[in-house]
Structure 1
Amino acid sequence: MAAFGRWKAQRLARADASRKGALDERAAPVVRLLNGRARFCTTSSCAGRLVLAQGGAAMTALEKATGDVVFKFEPFVLHVLCRELQDAQLLHSVAIDSGFKNSGITVGRGGKIMMAVRSTHCLEVPLSHMGKLMVSEEYIEFLIHVANRKMEENTRRIDRFYKCLRLALEADSANNSPSEETEKYHSVYVHRRKRKTIQEQDVHTSPKDHSEELEPEDDPDSNLGIFAETMM
């Protein structure tokens, strides 16, 4: 408990190291809601973005491309440090129910419990190779239309996640004893884990490892994946 409080204080005291230097407006309500609770601390977030990239650098117009150009849509992502595993489980269930099907939990050897809220409706399409345009202008317009539709759905999921999370957190009792809503989400989480384990035993396969984006001081190789579910 004390260690988590220290980690949270250190994290919130840091300056925003992102290029933007501030929270995305769309992600801000969720981030503030979580950081306002003693058991959660957000470590990184992105509300979603459309990117036209040449290599690793952004470009202002496709006609200026000289190398390989890729068009990307990246949905909402949020990483949250949780005080206890049951807190991460609650957050995970809310995320899954809100449409973020690629969400998962990792636990580091140092005891840090990280919950990643992620979605699967990404888009990544190559447009040119070695300066040569590989698609038509009409297709580019189509891609923009598809990406905008995905961004609209991304916004709806963020709003749904915020509303469901607020209701789940408000349902907690003042003395921190598990409320009916907390028990509901914990029960759903345990049920999913049991069902997934049974399915894995039936087909004699091992769960696929999913790496999570952790704090800079964490060693990704030292983390134990507790849960990561992917649905296309």
Structure 2
Amino acid sequence: MAAFGPRKAQRLARADGSRKGGLDERAAPVVRLLNGQSRFCTTSSCSGRLVLVQGRAADADSFEIQKKGCIWLLVTHEPCSRSEVMTALEKATGDVVLKFEPFVLHVLCQELQDAQLLHSVAVNSGFRNSGITVGKGGKIMVAVRSTHCLEVPLSHRGKLMVSEEYIEFLIHVANQKMEENIRRIDRFFKCLELALKNSVSANNSLEKPEKHCPVYLHRRKRKTIQQQGVHPPPRGPPSEELEPEDDVENSLDIFAEIMI
């Protein structure tokens, strides 16, 4: 992508527009790891949260929550208790929905191969709803997501529609999802860190293949033998054995194809 560096600098200089106004503590290590690389730029993130959101219904017979003018009765990025949820529900005057929303991350990538690396790590870490989008201007974006979510209506027009026993069950399920979400974030960070290190090592190997190239050593050994007047044993037909130069060149070609 042209002028990726200036675009990244401009993006990271913006004020945080989230409700919280800053990074979630659990998402921070992943965000900093990616932004520390010249080829990635994070644009938004959430470590995962459990929320009670109140909105007005679209009509008298609908439970569809309208986003405009909604009220957040409870927001937590940690497992929560039954008492926290029941206390928040006491404030309800409209339609309330309990939601668990898992970790989400959006990353701008310099090249398509960078997006492919990030997408592969995300999927293998449990975020199987992740995807890559390419805009008309060549903007390459990766969304790290999963389907590990929960959404259940609890009240209508301020009236609780379920039993407290059922709410306690829902909280237990939501907390289990939160704990699994935390494990996936940790796994994602470790796998990403390793993948980035391996990617740098592979690029260095491709840029300087002659450093450990056996061809030079083989030729030097052959020259030493000739200077000592020792004649090497006759070689077989050319079709039976490749010249060392050809063999190494083919190996490098195969390695380059794997990296691409």
Task: Name the CA distance, whole Å, in 1 between partners of 2:166 and 2:200.
Answer: 53
Aligned mate of 1:59, from 47, 66, 73: 73
Q: Which deviates more, 73-82 or 131-140?
A: 131-140
Task: Name the CA distance, whole Å, in 1 between partners of 2:127 and 2:4.
Answer: 26
Task: Name the CA distance, whole Å, in 2 between partners of 1:145 and 1:176.
Answer: 47
Q: Percent identity?
A: 79
Partner of 1:151: 178
Q: Point out the structure with max Rg over C-alpha.
A: 2
Give, in angstroms, the shift of residue 176 of structure 1.
3.8
Q: Deviations over 1:85-137 (max 9, x none)?
A: 01000100000000001000001111110000001010000001122211000
Task: Name the CA distance, whole Å, in 2 between partners of 1:6 and 1:84.
Answer: 15
Task: Name the CA distance, whole Å, in 2 between partners of 1:174 and 1:146.
Answer: 42
Normalised by the size of structure 2, how large is the TM-score? 0.67
The one-letter code of the counterpart of 1:124 is: E
The one-letter code of the counterpart of 2:123 is: I
1:118 has 2:145 as partner: yes
The one-letter code of the counterpart of 2:26 is: R
Segments of 5+ residues of structure 2 without an aligned counterpart are 56-69, 75-87, 207-253
Normalised by the size of structure 1, how large is the TM-score? 0.75
Matched ranges for 1:74-223 at <5 A? 74-173=101-200, 176=203
1:16 has 2:16 as partner: yes
Preserved CA contact (<8 Å) 1:51 1:73: yes
Partner of 2:232: none
Partner of 1:210: none
Task: Name the CA distance, whole Å, in 2 between partners of 1:8 and 1:162.
Answer: 21
Task: Name the CA distance, whole Å, in 2 between partners of 1:109 and 1:159.
Answer: 34
Cα 1:178–1:95 shift into 2, 3 Å: farther
The one-letter code of the counterpart of 1:52 is: L
Runs of 4 or more, structure 1, over 6 Å off, are none
Task: Name the CA distance, whole Å, in 1 between partners of 2:148 and 2:200.
Answer: 35
Cα 1:110–1:2 shift into 2, 3 Å: closer
Q: Deviations over 1:154-185 (max 9, x none)?
A: 00000000000000001123684688xxx99x
Preserved CA contact (<8 Å) 1:172 1:178: no
Give, in angstroms, the shift of residue 3 of structure 1.
1.7
Preserved CA contact (<8 Å) 1:105 1:113: yes
Segments of 5+ residues of structure 1 without an aligned counterpart are 191-232
